[in-house]
Amino acid sequence: MQIPRRKSDTLKRHNEEPIYLTEGGLQSRKERLTRLKSSLPEIIAEAQRTASYGDRSDNAEYKEAKGILRRTHRQIFALEDQIKHATVITSGPNTSGIIHLGSTVIVEENKIQKTFQIVGPQETNPSRGRISHQSPLGAALIDHKKGDDVLLKTENGLRHYHVVEIR
């Protein structure tokens, strides 16, 4: 027999590590949280309106409205949790000369230069040059300095990166 889990158990974060966000990432989460909270009265009113249609077991509109309400509450909870556990990544000139979270790095691979910003996992977007410090390449670059060669073992063999610049 399987023991049923409460929905609230699935909403909890299983690790209590900080959530690394840039200033812009934190601000956009705060703005989204404000928008969701301001839309809540309208969503609640819709759920109440559709509940008045009668038998709730066969009321598709009510079920949809309740689903939207639950989803909104889940998003609010997740955003509040992210904001509460956020650690802001400082960006700006890298005076230490060592790659760390928040650094922008120019690397060269096969005579092709690529620029990456090292960010937390919540803000990664490889197509825009934003990689996580937990990704294989991001983890390999951390703690290196300009001029270092970084070898990354992949399924297709070793990849060689040369650190050209750190910002």
Residue 99 belongs to some domain of the structure: no
Question: What is the full per-residue pLDDT of the chain (167 aa) written as tens digits?
Answer: 455 555 544 455 556 788 999 999 999 999 999 999 999 999 999 999 999 887 777 889 999 999 999 999 999 999 999 999 999 998 777 778 899 999 999 999 999 999 999 999 999 999 999 999 999 999 999 999 999 999 999 999 999 999 999 98
Domain count within the chain: 2
Residue 157 belongs to some domain of the structure: yes
CATH number for the domain that contains residue 76 = 1.10.287.180
* Residue type present at position 64: E
Strand order in the sheet with 149-154: 130-132, 112-119, 104-109, 157-166, 149-154
Q: Can you say how many angstroms the Cα of residue 62 is from the centroid of all Cα atoms in its chain?
A: 32
Can you give the pLDDT at residue 59? 86
Full domain range(s) for residue 47: 7-88
Same-domain status, 24 and 81? yes
Helix 60-84 vs helix 23-51: crossing angle, to nearest 10: 160
Can you give the pLDDT at residue 17? 80
> Domain end: 64, 88, 112, which one?
88
Same-domain status, 56 and 27? yes
